[in-house]
Amino acid sequence: MTGATFLERGIMKKGEIYEGIIEKVDFPNKGIVEVEGQKVIVKNGIPGQKVRFMINKKRSGRAEGRLLEILEKSPLETRDPVCHIFPQCGGCMYQTMAYEDQLKMKERQVRELLEQAVGCDIHWEGIHGSPIEFGYRNKMEFSFGDEYKDGPLSLGQHKKGSTYDVLTADDCRLVHSDMNQILVCVLNFFKERGATHYKKMQHTGYLRHLLVRRGVTTGEILVHVITTSQEEYDFSPLVSALLELPLEGKIVGILHIINDSLSDVVQSDETRLLYGQDYFYETLLGLRFKISTFSFFQPNSLAAEVLYSIVRDYIGDTKDKEVFDLYSGTGTIAQLLAPVAKEVIGVEIVEEAVDAARENAAMNGLTNCRFIAGDVLKVLDDLTEKPDVIVLDPPRDGIHPKALPKILAYGVENIVYISCKPTSLARDLPAFLEAGYEIKRSCSVDQFCSTVHVESIVLLSRK
């Protein structure tokens, strides 16, 4: 579409095709392209790329375009791709950018979001990078499928923009090479037997997911094959093949999880232990953690140490203080704070995570941690203790709007808010400011190198 045609019409229309340069990328992956004075959001690009895109959404004066083709590389793309399915896979979009440039972009994204949300100084302290850039993930869910309709069986990541096509990720660089070897072994086993993959629309087929968890500091590995109950195979040859792999780490457990749920999530109707145990160990800042299949644990162990060191610094002195750790997961933060606190109470909705937290606290010799299984929204109504400090580490969607007033009602002096989605944090922050808090310190930690995600931390103190 030429500029003259655009000027004649005066307005963009759905289906029209344009070209332009991505000026910047806002969180999480919203590229901003200006065409004839109008800004268009084009996702999945890198700043500086010249792109061709089709207008696919128009709402309230804002246009969105679907990326069709990258016409020219960005000056920021100074590296070759590190895996064979880039850029079709949307997993790590920024891998061709130098890591320093990724950090600068993410820092700008978060800082702008938070400053726009509160309209005042956020006492920004920069961004902290991950200690390792590749092979950092301690957990990965791979999907079974086919790369195209009725194609051969594949196992890996969904093609960018597709909920059906799956690309075999046998050289994924976000994970340790041990995980890639396991993926290839599992895929070949089921290919040889002609096993079918689960089709979401028809609700037919057998293979759903491969979930691998690997301790970065211990090398211990859990392998989970998730299927429906629609077929049956002898898994003993697969177990033998997996145990014979020349891995750097060690497989400590192999599980077969049966999941007949209609939703496309990893969950268990029945779990069969095929080998070893259903947990592994990881260490973090001198503490040992037992992690099971569905326990939440920060996906980048080494960057989590950076994150939690900052959290500990932001909280400061907890001597003789009552600490609430809300959305506590397996109780990592609670246990890091417990040695110098009066008591730490963790609240977490996932019961398996709470069981793990209790076991981990006992294993680490901590007697002043208490973990409660339940929704923060409801549990706060029943707690008689009054906190001196609150730590918040909610899921991606942020704090439940009805839970926020209950948290603010405690009127504690300091609150530390950890967020894995800066837009949720930006949405919640004004409520804290209205309740009399101010942002004392803030920063980001990049736990998710080469991807669009980034972690943020804010210390809120009463004025």
Of the listed ranges 288-297, 337-346, 448-457, the one predicted with least confidence: 288-297
Residue 189's pLDDT band (cuts 50, 70, 90): very high
5 CB neighbour count, 10 Å cutoff: 9
Q: Which residues of 287-312 are buried (b: 16+ CB within 10 A; e: fewer)?
A: bebbbbbbbbbbbbbbbbbbbbebbb
The vertex-374 CA angle with 368 and 380, nearest 5°, equals: 75
Helix (H, G, I), strand (E, B) or coil at 339: helix
Q: CB–CB of 314/305 below 8 Å?
A: no
Q: CB–CB of 406/279 below 8 Å?
A: no
Helix (H, G, I), strand (E, B) or coil at 20: strand
Residue 13's pLDDT band (cuts 50, 70, 90): confident
Q: CB–CB of 130/100 below 8 Å?
A: no
Residue 185's pLDDT band (cuts 50, 70, 90): very high
Residue spans of beta strands (DSSP E) within 396-454 = 414-419, 437-445
Residue 2's pLDDT band (cuts 50, 70, 90): very low
What type of residue is 181?
Q
Q: Residue 324 and residue 346: Cα distance in Å, rounded? A: 6
Catalytic, 89? Answer no
| CA distance readout (Å), 130 to 102, 137, 225, 307, 458 | 11, 11, 29, 10, 19
CA proximity to 178, closest of 130, 250, 244, 235? 250
* Count of helices and strands (H, E) across the chain: 10, 22
pTM of the shown model: 0.91
CA proximity to 354, closest of 400, 295, 299? 295
Nearest-Å Rg of the Cα atoms of the chain is 24
Joined tokens for residue 153 = 């069986």
Mean pLDDT, rounded, for 448-459:
97
Looking at residue 3, its pLDDT comes to 42
| CA distance readout (Å), 223 to 94, 138, 158, 457 | 28, 12, 20, 32
Looking at residue 407, its pLDDT comes to 96
Catalytic residue among 172, 369, 420, 449: 420
Joined tokens for residue 111 = 């800082």
Looking at residue 238, its pLDDT comes to 98
Q: Which residues of 28-52 are buried (b: 16+ CB within 10 A; e: fewer)?
A: bbbbbbebeeeebbbbbbbbbbbbe
Q: Residue 394, Cα to own-chain centre: how many angstroms?
A: 12
Beginning with the edge strand found earlier in the chain, give each strand of the sheet holding 414-419 in spatial order. Answer: 124-128, 437-445, 455-462, 414-419, 389-392, 322-326, 343-348, 369-373
Mean pLDDT, rounded, for 136-153:
94
Q: Residue 259 and residue 422: Cα distance in Å, rounded? A: 33
Residue 149's pLDDT band (cuts 50, 70, 90): confident
Per residue in 364-387, pLDDT tens? 999 999 999 999 999 999 999 999
Q: Residue 308 and residue 399: Cα distance in Å, rounded? A: 20
Q: What is the DSSP letter of 198?
A: P
**Residue 37 confidence (pLDDT) above 90:** no
Q: What are phi and psi of 254, to 5 degrees?
A: -125, 125
Residue 398's pLDDT band (cuts 50, 70, 90): very high
What type of residue is 260?
D
For the chain, the average pLDDT equals 93
Looking at residue 161, its pLDDT comes to 80
Q: CB–CB of 225/268 below 8 Å?
A: no
Q: Residue 239 and residue 255: Cα distance in Å, rounded? A: 10
